[in-house]
Amino acid sequence: MAGSIRPAPSERIVMGGIGLGGRGSHDLGWMLNESDVQWVAVCDVRKDRRQAAKNTVDSKYGNKDCAAYGDMRQLLAERTDVDAVLIATGDRWHALASIMAMRAGKDVYCEKPAVRSRLA
């Protein structure tokens, strides 16, 4: 978004992230710089990654409001305020996490591969 004016809350995309290791933390970093995105929740099965992502979000916003989850099912069930999720899990989890998120009414940002296939 052009300029330094922060969009009104009704014009922001409320985000959560699932799987915030290497690629996920990279994506989180650039998404945090978007003025029309508000991060409110992070999820990773690994506590160190979960805490690092939470710290990154909290540091950006100057508070401790970001919720941290160890189970994506809990984030998807509890966070009705989340509009969209970043999915950066291991490759074999992309499809399942994306389907679960969409069934929960979330928009999804997921980089390939979105499916696992076998070559004969």
pLDDT in tens, 35-88: 999 999 999 999 999 999 999 999 999 999 999 999 999 999 999 999 999 999
* Extended strands (E) in 35-79: 37-43, 67-69
Res 113 pLDDT > 70: no
> Could you give the CA distance from residue 58 to residue 55 in angstroms, rounded to a whole number?
5
Name the CA radius of gyration of the chain, rounded: 14
Q: What is the pTM of this model?
A: 0.86
> What's the pLDDT tens digit per position in 74-94?
999 999 999 999 999 988 898
SS3 of residue 104 by DSSP: coil
- 11-15, 46-50, 89-93, 104-108, range with the lowest pLDDT: 89-93
CATH number of the CATH domain containing 59: 3.40.50.720
Domain ranges, residue 92: 9-110
Q: Is residue 2 part of a domain?
A: no
Q: Is residue 86 part of a domain?
A: yes
> Could you give the CA distance from residue 22 to residue 55 in angstroms, rounded to a whole number?
15
- Residue 43 has phi, psi (to 5 degrees) of -145, 130
Tell me how many domains the chain contains.
1
Q: Is residue 3 part of a domain?
A: no
